[in-house]
A and B are shown apart, each in its own frame.
Chain A
Amino acid sequence: MSGLWDHEEAGAFVETLFAKHHGEIYAYLVRMLREPELAADLTQDAFVKAYKNYDTLEKPENARAWLYQIAHRVALDEIRRRKIIRFFPWTGESRGSAPSAEHLVMEAHLSGDMQRALARIPERQRAALLLAELHDMTGVELAEALGVSHVAARALLTRARESLRQALASERAAEAEADAARPGSHPAERRR
């Protein structure tokens, strides 16, 4: 698809790409960065970059992985820039709607340790896990999205599983310790 860079063609292509994939790209960036507002900005950046780099897409059938690779790089750039990922309990709610207290409690109970564990593992490993398990990417597509070879992607994923296991174990141990130390931690008291 290299050759003349046609603005109209690129605009139409990105528009189509946006319609098909903006939801999953946004979700990926939220999961990577844990800040919905920032993820929205970066989603926008990713599609603008897709527009600007339209001529680098060699095979239209690889557009999804190509787009993910752009989004992945955008995310890593942001993480590098900030050097820190702020953690917020992610509720999955859209902008402008306040999560209920019940929702937050449930969220923290059900998946808080997973969220925290994910936040603790290296970002490339986190990306590999998210793409593989939540965005249904495997094999060559995963490698392309991560911008690495197939072998490297597989190795990254393997390391990610071990990192997640250790991070989860650590989170759960810390949580159990905190529960034990908390006054009134008896279930009957917590219900009051």
Chain B
Amino acid sequence: MSRIQRIRRRRASESLANHDRARRLVAERLDGSLEPIEATWLREHLAGCSVCRAIGAAYEADRIALRGLRDQTPEPPRDLWARTSAAIEREASIRGGRPRRASNARPRPALGVLSGIAVIAVVIGASVMSGGWLNTPTTVPPAATQPPVALGSPVTGPGPTPISVGAGSVGWVGTSTNGQLAYNVTSVDQVCPVDRKPACAEVTDGNSRQVDLTIRPKSISQSPVRNQAVVVGSDGSGSDAVLVIALPTAVPSATPAPTPTPAPTPPAASTTPSSEPSTSTEPTADASEPPASVSPASPSPEPPASPTPKPPASPSATPAPTLAATLAIVSGVRVVGQSAAYSPDGNWFAFTARPSDGSTGPDIYVWRVGDDLARAVTGDHASVFGSWAGSRLIGSRPASVGGTAAVAAASFIIDPETGKETALAAPVWRPVVDPGDHWAVVWDGSVRVDPTNRIPVPDKGSLVLRGYSRADGVALSGATSSIADGDVSEFDVRWDETGTWLAIWIADASDPSIGRLSLLRIDPVSGAVERPHGAPQDVTALPGFSIANGRLAWATPPGQGGESSRVQIVAWTNQAVGAVESGPITNVVVIH
């Protein structure tokens, strides 16, 4: 090798090393300042090296693009704390210790079990007239002899071998033995084989929370993504109260308090709930939540002539900032049916309602989270809400309106944002679409208008599973599977989040306050309907059930002999289905 060649090679090597050094420095420059000598060297190198300049620019552009992902922060599952705390408790028991349970340590929410598929604190205020829907929750002292309501994991003493179903929870509101309404969330991670259920201990826990509720809740829907729920209840004046509740932060997110929570204040008798010291555990301001300054109002004593929602009357009380706010989103109406639901993204809540004076039939209402009031998106007074299909809702109405004779059904999709309505070709009633938009349970038959309340109801036909696509809607023909037929006046169908399990509640023809509930498994590919061993079939149930996270929960009707309702919980894995139940509970509403 000649001297010139050696010089050239050395220079090439040095040049390469210089470029490597420059690229390292331009990267390091993004993460902090360089030493002055390095900064000077880099500046000089970049001045004469367009390639390294371009790479430096690319690093900066990539960094901006990467930081753009901050806008897509994923939201953790709401039952994460329930799962985690259960795992920690298992770990503690292995080690022979027991971590502090928040609920045991001080009177605050049973955080260890607050979560999941149905969590809500119905903390309703002292008086409707005073505007105090919401009041401070208090912890129910455990009853000396029997907890007011069951809570917690099944006590598995001698008896059947439990089936482990992972961590999850079920929530409800009911009247405790002391006559007070109590809010309960039970962690259910083990169940018993269905045929051995009687030998399986009831779910127990003494940490239910007393709530002061001046309306009797009929249904409670929790937002899938926010610390928020909608409570529909009867106010005793003939109208329904539809309240949005901003839940305490710890409850719906199922996250424990970062700092000790002050003891809840006893229920206030005044219109303004008593305040708690402000801590980071309290609800955070969120534009999506109901305005805290709006107090709920009693439904209008004079029913409106039209079902147009009226603003809450006389906002007078301001909930203390430390408490969840409530908002009455509609007044002067009666909520129809059981189909009310949040949209999958949690941005909307849809329900069917008619004027409480019976002047017209029902329309579909939507409430956008953050708005003050719900609004009607139909005006024909014959429409009912079926389900959500992504961000749009599906409704149904009789194909012809005006008489009481049986007519064909018609369904349509509405964009809640614009109100734009698109007809579905298939003449079906109230399609309930699975989360993946593959299948829909529909009433395939005629409908008629009940002359007593102007509500359209199924007439002759059957409930079937049909194919569904976002583009084409319900398949025009080819019912995949018949699910129920006969005398179906009212039904409530809900899918689990996987779209492979669904539960169907069908009201009793003679007494719609009770019905029959079944759990079905759907083959997501073929649409074949299975009724797995142990899954409830046609069991008697009160309206309102929850299905999510591998658990179905419902309430049994009170017994003829004065026996109270019980919450029944069926949970499943890929291999087995099991069940467990609560103790007796009066006036129970399962949260969904």
Contacts and interface: CB of A to CB of B under 8 A. Distances in A.
A97 B224 contact: yes
A147 interface: no
Interface stretch (B83-91, B444-452, B481-489, B567-575): B83-91
Contacts of B250: 19
A9 B92 CA distance: 12
Interface string B77-107: 1101101110110011001011111100100
A30 interface: yes
Nearest to B30: A161
A15 B111 contact: yes
B527 interface: no
B130 to A, nearest CB: 34
B59 A165 contact: yes
Interface stretch (B20-28, B36-44, B189-197, B306-314): B20-28
B539 interface: no
A23 B83 CA distance: 15
B224 A7 contact: no
Interface string A31-58: 1000010011001110110011000000
Contacts of B28: 154, 158
A165 B60 CA distance: 10
B256 A19 contact: yes
Contact of B73 (A10, A19, A27, A45): A27
Contacts of B70: 134
B420 interface: no
A169 to B, nearest CB: 8
A115 B24 CA distance: 24
Contacts of B31: 132, 138, 154, 157-158
Interface residues of B, number: 63
Given A15-B102, A43-B84, A48-B84, A94 B258 contact: no
A164 B62 contact: yes
Contact of A43 (B24, B63, B69, B80): B80
Given A23-B76, A36-B74, A165-B55, A98 B437 contact: yes
A10 B76 contact: no
A168 interface: yes
A98 B97 contact: no
Contact of B69 (A51, A111, A158): A111
Given A12-B100, A26-B76, A165-B55, A138 B83 contact: no
Contacts of B32: 138-139
Interface string B208-244: 0000000000000000110000000000000000000
A20 B81 CA distance: 12
B74 to A, nearest CB: 5
Contact of B66 (A8, A20, A107, A164): A164
A76 B92 CA distance: 25
B494 to A, nearest CB: 12
Contacts of A96: 224, 344, 435, 497, 548
Nearest to B81: A18
Nearest to B88: A51
A101 interface: yes
A7 B97 contact: yes
Interface residues of A, number: 60
B472 interface: no
Contact of A16 (B55, B77, B259): B259
Given A11-B99, A14-B88, A161-B59, A97 B345 contact: yes
B390 interface: yes
A44 B87 contact: yes
B65 A16 contact: no
B72 interface: yes
B337 interface: no
A43 B557 CA distance: 40
Given A7-B92, A100-B390, A92 B345 contact: no
Contacts of A175: none
B161 to A, nearest CB: 25
Contacts of A15: 85, 99-100, 102, 111, 256-257
B68 A52 contact: no
Nearest to A128: B31
Contacts of B92: 7, 11, 51
B100 A11 contact: yes
A91 to B, nearest CB: 8
B503 to A, nearest CB: 15
Contacts of A44: 80, 83-84, 87
A62 to B, nearest CB: 17
A19 B436 CA distance: 32
B11 interface: no
B27 A161 contact: yes
Given A27-B73, A97-B344, A164-B62, A158 B68 contact: no
B404 interface: no
Contact of A90 (B74, B101, B102, B257): B74
B396 interface: no
Contacts of A98: 344, 390, 435-437
A23 B172 CA distance: 26
Given A10-B99, A47-B88, A26 B259 contact: no
- A-B pairs, 10 with minimum CB distance: A11-B99, A7-B97, A96-B497, A19-B258, A92-B72, A15-B256, A97-B344, A26-B76, A158-B27, A94-B75
Interface of A: 7-12, 14-16, 18-20, 22-23, 26-27, 30-31, 36, 39-40, 43-45, 47-48, 51-52, 90-98, 100-101, 107, 110-111, 114-115, 118, 129, 132-134, 138-139, 154, 157-158, 161-162, 164-165, 168-169
15 contacts: A7-B95, A7-B97, A7-B99, A12-B99, A23-B75, A51-B88, A51-B99, A96-B344, A96-B497, A98-B344, A101-B390, A157-B31, A158-B24, A161-B30, A161-B62
Given A22-B255, A165-B59, 7 more contacts: A11-B88, A19-B256, A23-B75, A51-B88, A51-B91, A134-B67, A161-B30
Interface of B: 23-24, 27-28, 30-32, 55, 58-59, 62-63, 65-70, 72-78, 80-81, 83-85, 87-88, 91-92, 95, 97-102, 105, 111, 224-225, 250, 255-259, 281, 344-346, 390-391, 435-437, 470, 497, 548
